[in-house]
Amino acid sequence: MKKLILITTLCLGVSACKVNPFTGQKTLNFYPNSQIFPMAFAQYDQFLGDNKVLKGTTDAHMITKVGQRISAAAERWLSANGYPGYLKDYKWEYNLVDDKTVNAWCMPGGKIVFYTGILPITQTETGVAVVMGHEVAHALADHGAQRMSAGTLQQVGAVAGNVAIKDPKKRNMFNQAYGIGSQVGVMLPFSRGHETEADRIGLQIMAIAGYNPDEAANLWRRMKANSGGQAPPEFLSTHPSNDTRINNLTVWAPLAKEEAAKFGVTSYK
Cα 241 from Cα 220, distance rounded (Å): 10
Residues 6 or more apart in contact with residue 254 via CB below 8 angstroms: none
Cα 155 from Cα 83, distance rounded (Å): 33
Cα 80 from Cα 82, distance rounded (Å): 6
Q: Are 260 and 208 in contact (CB under 8 A)?
A: yes
Tell me which of 93, 135, 195, 197 is the catalytic residue. 135
Cα 220 from Cα 105, distance rounded (Å): 16
Give the start-end residues of each E strand in the chain: 17-19, 26-28, 53-54, 93-97, 104-107, 111-115
Cα 116 from Cα 137, distance rounded (Å): 21
> How far is CA 80 from each of CA 77, 86, 101, 138, 204, rounded to the nearest angstrom?
5, 12, 37, 20, 14
Cα 263 from Cα 259, distance rounded (Å): 7
Question: Angle CA(139)–CA(147)–CA(131) in degrees, nearest 5?
Answer: 35
Catalytic residue list contains 135: yes
Instruction: Determine how β-strand 93-97 pairs with β-strand 111-115.
Output: parallel
The pair phi, psi for residue 106, each rounded to 5°, is -135, 135
Phi-psi region of 165 (alpha: psi -120 to 50; beta: other; left: phi over 0): beta
Active-site annotation, residues: 135
